[in-house]
Amino acid sequence: MASIIHHILIFFVICSCFLHNIYVASVTLSLDTDKQNLIYIKSQTITQPPDALSTWDPNSSPCNWTRVTCDDRGQRVVGVDLSSLGISGPVSPHIGNLSFLTTLQLQDNQFQGVIPGTITNLLRLRVLNISSNSIQGTIPGNISRCIELRVVDFMQNKLSGSIPEDLTLLVNLQTLNLAGNQLYGSIPPSIGNLSSLLTLRLGTNTLSGPIPGDLSRLQTLKILDLSINNLTGTIPPSIYNMSSLESLAVASNDLSGDIPYNVADGLPNLLNFNFCINKFTGTIPGSLHNRTNIRFIRFAHNRMHGTVPSGLGNLPELEMYNIGYNYIVSSRGEGLGFLNSLVNSTKLDFLAIDGNGFDGVIPEFIGNLSNTLRMLYMGSNRISGSIPPSIGQLQGLALLNLSFNSISGEIPSEIGRLEGLQELVLGKNKLNSSIPNSLGNLRKLAQIDLSSNELGGSIPITFSSFERLTSMDLSMNKLNGIIPKEVLDLPSLSTILNLSNNLLTGSLPQEIENLERVVTIDLSNNRLSGNIPNSIQNCKSLEQLIISKNSFSGNIPNGLGELNGLTTLDLSSNELSGSIPPNIQNLKALQFLNLSFNYLEGNLPSNGIFSNLTNIHVEGNPKLCYDSKCGRSDTNKAVIISVAATILVLVILISVALLFYFRRTSVKVKDNTGSFKGRHYMVTYDQLRSATRNFHEDNKIGRGSFGSVYKGCLDLEGRPQEIAVKTLDMETTGSVPSFLAECAALRHLKHRNLVKLITSCSSLDHKNNEFYSLVYEYMKNGSLEKWIRNGMSFVDRLNVVIDVACGLSYLHHECVVAPVVHCDLKPSNVLLDEDLTAKIGDFGLASMLIDKDQSFSSAHVLKGSMGYIPPG
């Protein structure tokens, strides 16, 4: 019996050893397989620094390698973390062979290519993070095989396609982050099935359609971010009952509708509320001011109206309050008094009430706001009074913007105490007195804008302390004295130096050469004199140089021809002499050249920009020759020219006298064709938006077949100028051809009886949509259509007829390039200025008859409005 038991024990021992050897062999084989795959992955990657994976040695266990994690028994690789190693190249498909992997982190690298399909073999995977790379392609369609996934983070890549329904089968998912890609299509309602989801980020894509109400089934969700997409419709009311939500962000979409006053009642845990840049209407929900823990309230760039509700004093945790660019106004008699409630918000960092209709004065208690306040936007309102000295108590301030108001008085010297200030924007007000020297204490200042005020005195030498300044705009004031050479010793200046439209005297210092990085220099309309220093050729980054309407003399420096990036050069209305430097014709980027009204002489260059005379202005230089023969002396020719010129002058004088007599027996007309002579104005979308109060309905003065017209006000030629901004509706068929036709027609036209085109704007709006507009002079008396109906005197009617006839005569017979046929002449397209001078407008259907031998057979297809046929 004992012998039998002994043999049985021996058998079990042998079996046990055998099984153990098999187990050890299998473990070794599996770990070796993981090692081989990792070595192959390493061979396909380039890291920064190169030795970041130096411990990945084939002769050692992967469990001892950096960035690799094994299970507790050291038998399999369960974690790989290659984040922030500067890795480039594709994601290796061998990743899919690490079958026991639970965590894969590849974020913050430069991975390219697509997500390998083998990644769906990782059935134990719980964390998948490939964010902040350059991954392209689509999200793998069978990713639901990785049923254990808790975190999927593909943020900041180049993924395209739609959100696959397969993702919504990952029932254990807690974080889904697809933000910052190129995904399109609608948001799948089935995302509402992810009952464990805590974070859902789909922002910064091109998703469209409505927000599905099914998202409200995510009752554990804390973060919902759908910002920067193309979502439309209204917010489903059920979203406002997601009681676990801490952050609700839908900014930069095309959402609309009223926001319920009690929106926050069903969101007790709300910390972040971001509804910026949409089309929301209604008033600011007062219930938000009852959420005592809320940190961010953002409604900027919507269509909200009404006043600021009470309760701001209940928000001790508030960090950002942004209600800019709406239609919100002050409560009757309160002015800006509501700001006093924010004194209790001791963590306030960002306050923006700009672009609204707030009135009143800036209260003295503004200085009692939080010392943590960094950004203060109060521009584009109706604020009056002066800037209180207490503003100097806001020691944490990095940005102060009070522009586009009616603030008067002096700039308080206390602003010089704000040593952390980086942007000071006080332009477009009525500030007077001189610029305080204390501003020189703002050594961190990057932008200073004091333009369009009534500031006098000299430019403080203390401005030389601006070690980080990139932009300086002191234009349209009454500054006098010289340009301090110390102010030009600012090598950090890289955007603009604008001192135009002041009373500055003296010469342009040689130190201008220090501005090697500046893009725009505008010193126009001052009293500067002397030579233009040749050292300006060191401004290698210069694209726009505008020094017109001064008294500069001497030759045009040859160094200007070395500024290869120059696109705009305006030296007009000075006292420059000599010839035009030949190397200016080598400036390939040059698009606009104005040398008019100087004393230039010699032959006009013929190449480069000079080959197209429509892009240059050289009139007012009597000795300038337009061809090589103009310098030859020919007595007979001189006599003939003299006689002809005398006769021509007499004819012109007699014609003008007769025309003046018949047209203006009772009404004196102001001719403004000289306004903005030879000047090319460049305006941005933001400037037009500010000029028209965010294209406010109150500023709309007309609606045409291709868009709307808004009244606005821009600073031009040193003074505010009323303008009419014609915008295009991009969804209207034919709007772009109309825009191009109008630009083509008006490009070469200049006549007192044509509505003056000041400039145009082709840009992107705040939603990155195409934006086209034309900026015209504003015609105060509207269209002829209105006056005909309301009655006009016979004399006024006669004057209008003469004006229109003169305008048409110019269009048909006197245009420089080719005759222009208006194609839509009617009373509504004839506009009257303040003196009832008639001017023809709206050239959207105009045709240029380039070929003068062309017959009018093309006119068989008639253009124009019903009841009107274009005159031929």
Distances (CA, A) of 328 to 425, 513, 577: 22, 47, 56
Neighbours of 186 (CB within 10 A): 14
Instruction: List the helix and strand counts (H, then E) for the chain.
Output: 6, 54
The phi, psi pair for 853, rounded to 5°, reads -85, -5
Q: What is the 3-state secondary structure (H, E, C) of 133-169?
A: CCCECCCCCCHHHCCCCCEEECCCCCCEECCCHHHHH
Determine whether the annotation assigns residue 839 to a binding site: no
- Rounded Cα distance between 251 and 241, Å, is 19
- Rounded Cα distance between 109 and 132, Å, is 7
Q: Which residues partner with 531 through β-bridges?
A: 553
Neighbours of 628 (CB within 10 A): 10
Q: Which residues are CB-contacts of 314 (< 8 A; sequence separation ≥ 6)?
A: 289, 290, 292, 344
Tokens of 34: 């993981």
Buried-state track 263-272, b at ≥16 Cβ within 10 A, e below 16: bbebbeebbb
**What's 211's DSSP letter?**
P
Distances (CA, A) of 586 to 545, 589, 849: 17, 9, 32
- Rounded Cα distance between 58 and 49, Å, is 20
Q: What is the dihedral of CA 802, 804, 805, 809, to 10 degrees?
A: 140
Report the alpha-carbon angle 403-406-408, nearest 5.
100
- Helix, strand, coil: what percent of the chain each, to 5? 25, 25, 50
Distances (CA, A) of 299 to 200, 274, 280: 21, 7, 9
Q: Which of 837, 779, 835 is nearest to 803 (CA)?
A: 837
Cβ(584)–Cβ(555) under 8 Å? no
- Rounded Cα distance between 341 and 526, Å, is 46
Q: Is 566 helix (H, G, I), strand (E, B) or coil?
A: coil
Q: Is 254 a catalytic residue?
A: no
- Rounded Cα distance between 514 and 538, Å, is 7
- Rounded Cα distance between 164 and 32, Å, is 36
Q: Which residues are CB-contacts of 625 (< 8 A; sequence separation ≥ 6)?
A: 601, 602, 603, 604, 631
| Strand 708-716 relative to strand 700-703, pairing | antiparallel
H-run or E-run covering 22: helix 2-43
- Rounded Cα distance between 765 and 771, Å, is 6
Across 676-740, where does the E strand assignment appear?
Answer: 700-703, 708-716, 719-727
Cβ(293)–Cβ(314) under 8 Å? no
Q: Which residues are CB-contacts of 621 (< 8 A; sequence separation ≥ 6)?
A: 595, 596, 597, 598, 599, 600, 601
Q: Which of 153, 225, 522, 824 is catalytic?
A: 824
Cα–chain-centroid distance for residue 501?
26
The one-letter code for the residue type at 565 is G
Distances (CA, A) of 761 to 453, 542, 722: 25, 22, 17
| Strand 430-431 relative to strand 527-531, pairing | unpaired
Could you tell me which residues are annotated as the binding site for ATP?
726
What residues are labeled active site? 824
Could you tell me which residues are annotated as the binding site?
726
